[in-house]
């Protein structure tokens, strides 16, 4: 799959990475806190962490990284989608033309679906750029 097509799936991918990060952070965090005797034993979490052993340290580190990266990309993508929708649904051609460069950048980052919506709006407003 090319990067062009993959950009359209960035939000679901980032949400999946965020969810995996939450899982790894919680299970790794439990293991570290239980191993240091900071918290008591929980049979459910023991079942989730016992198969990994000392790898739970790495899972905790990887979980925090995935949590931050997935959350940042998800929020960034949602913000870009909202800004794109705000500009594209404007009733003002002037506002549309003033923000055209930013719209093109956002559409490129969001994927082919948004590029098509932008091209359609350009035809509707008869803007050549």
Please state, rounded to an integer, the average pLDDT across all residues of the chain.
90
Burial string for 1-10 (b: 16+ CB within 10 Å, else e) reads eeeeeebeeb
User: pLDDT tier at 129 (50, 70, 90 boundaries)?
Assistant: low
**Residue pLDDT, tens place only, 41-63:** 777 777 777 777 778 889 999 99
- Give the CA diameter of the chain: 68
Residue 37 pLDDT > 80: no
SS3 127: coil
More confident residue, 71 or 40: 71
Alpha carbon 20 to its chain's center = 12
pTM over cut 0.75: yes
**Residue pLDDT, tens place only, 65-105:** 999 999 999 999 999 999 999 999 989 999 999 999 999 99
């Amino acid at each position: 799959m090319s990067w062009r097509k993959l950009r359209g799936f960035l939000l679901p991918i980032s949400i999946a990475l965020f969810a995996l990060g939450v899982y790894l952070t919680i299970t790794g965090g439990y293991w570290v806190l239980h191993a240091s005797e900071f918290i008591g034993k929980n049979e459910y979490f023991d079942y989730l962490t016992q198969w990994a052993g000392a790898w739970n340290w790495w899972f905790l580190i990887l979980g925090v990284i995935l949590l931050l990266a997935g959350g940042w990309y998800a929020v960034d993508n949602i913000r870009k989608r909202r800004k794109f929708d705000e500009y594209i649904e404007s009733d003002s051609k002037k506002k549309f033309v003033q923000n055209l460069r930013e719209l093109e950048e956002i559409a490129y980052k969001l994927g082919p679906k948004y590029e098509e919506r932008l091209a359609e709006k350009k035809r509707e407003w008869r803007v050549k750029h």
